[in-house]
């Protein structure tokens, strides 16, 4: 098994979050993109304003690495039109995967119709442009019942509105990695949350993001059934080492 083809190498920190100046942070992004090219990872996941640069680097290197970005990140509270505008710009810049943060706040408040609308319209935009779409449900912000319900909600909208051939291109994804938890609880993937997602998102694929820090943990996720793994320690994981990265 080539584990690199499961790995979405990820760097999503702003300069402020990384405690760097803008030029230093840009250098880190470039390093991640080049590493993804050199290591032949499945994908490089970066912020929207970095997509155009990544496309140029990957094209110049004649590489097959794909480019993903996050939309309405990290809170997912913006309206549907704002999500669509940001996604459209990323498409123009050459993105392959669009990882939308689901408005899980609205879901938790019972505004299911709003969530259904954004899933429908944003998924439609992605599929019409031959992009992979992922819906980040932020498992650390949900209880087990809510993980089940929101995974099933994404699945039901997709199955009801799109063709079976499209299902493999619409993921349910666990986490942003930026949610602030209390008492040092995990803010990303856990085995229990992934099992719930797999059981309730099927036939849609699942991406485990955040919290996978060793080769063995990545292997466990793949054996459970996830199709993609998001990590800022992709090289260490692929080399059989542990990563100290926070995502």
> For 33-86, how does the pLDDT look when each residue is reduced to its tens digit (9 = 90+)?
999 999 999 999 999 999 999 999 999 999 999 999 999 999 999 999 999 999
245 within a domain of the structure (yes/no): no
Q: Which two tokens stand for residue 128?
A: 């019409």
Could you give the residue numbers annotated as active site? 99, 173, 207
C-alpha 195/C-alpha 214 separation (Å) is 19
Count up the domains in the chain and report the number: 1
- Average of per-residue pLDDT values in the chain: 96
**What is the separation, in whole angstroms, between the first and last Cα of the chain?**
23
Q: Which two tokens stand for residue 76?
A: 């997912």
173 within a domain of the structure (yes/no): yes
Query: Which domain does 225 fall in, by range?
Result: 3-238
243 within a domain of the structure (yes/no): no
pLDDT of residue 7: 97
172 in Cβ contact with 207 (< 8 Å): yes
75 within a domain of the structure (yes/no): yes
> For 14-34, how does the pLDDT look when each residue is reduced to its tens digit (9 = 90+)?
999 999 999 999 999 999 999
pLDDT of residue 246: 61
34 within a domain of the structure (yes/no): yes
pLDDT of residue 187: 76
230 within a domain of the structure (yes/no): yes
145 within a domain of the structure (yes/no): yes
SS3 of the chain: CCHHHHEEEECCCCHHHHCCCHHHHHHHHHHHHHHHHHHCCCEEEECHHHHHHHHHHHHHCCCCCEEEEEECCCCCCCCHHHHHHHHHHHHHHCCCEEEEECCHHHHHCCCHHHHHHHHHHHHHHHHHCCCEEEEECCHHHCCHHHHHHHHHHHHHHHHHHCCHHHHHHEEEECCCCCCCCCCCCCCCCCHHHHHHHHHHHCCCCEEEECCCCCHHHHHHHHHHCCCEEEECCHHHHHCCCCCCCCC
Q: What is the CA radius of gyration of the chain?
A: 17
246 within a domain of the structure (yes/no): no
Residue 209 sits in a domain whose CATH number is 3.20.20.70
């Amino acid at each position: 098994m080539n584990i690199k083809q499961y790995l979405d190498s990820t760097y999503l920190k702003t300069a402020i979050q990384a405690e760097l100046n803008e030029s230093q942070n840009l250098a880190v992004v470039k390093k991640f993109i080049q590493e993804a090219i050199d290591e032949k990872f499945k994908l490089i996941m970066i912020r929207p304003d970095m997509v155009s640069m990544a496309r140029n680097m990957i094209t110049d290197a004649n590489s097959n690495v794909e480019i993903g970005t996050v939309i309405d990140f990290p809170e997912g509270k913006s309206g549907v039109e704002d999500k669509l505008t940001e996604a459209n710009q990323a498409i123009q810049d050459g993105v392959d995967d669009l990882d939308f943060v689901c408005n899980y706040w609205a879901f938790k408040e019972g505004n299911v119709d709003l969530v259904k609308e954004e899933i429908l319209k944003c998924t439609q935009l992605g599929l019409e442009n031959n992009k992979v779409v992922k819906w980040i449900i932020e498992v650390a912000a949900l209880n087990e019942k809510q993980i089940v319900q929101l995974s099933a909600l994404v699945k039901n909208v997709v199955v009801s509105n799109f063709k079976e051939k499209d299902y493999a291109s619409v993921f349910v994804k666990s986490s942003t990695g930026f949610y602030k938890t209390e008492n040092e609880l995990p803010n990303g993937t856990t085995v229990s949350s992934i099992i719930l997602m797999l059981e309730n998102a099927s036939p849609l694929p699942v991406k485990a993001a955040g919290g996978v820090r060793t080769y063995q943990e990545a292997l466990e996720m793949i054996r459970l059934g996830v199709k993609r793994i998001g990590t800022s320690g992709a090289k260490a994981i692929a080399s059989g080492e542990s990563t100290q990265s926070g995502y």
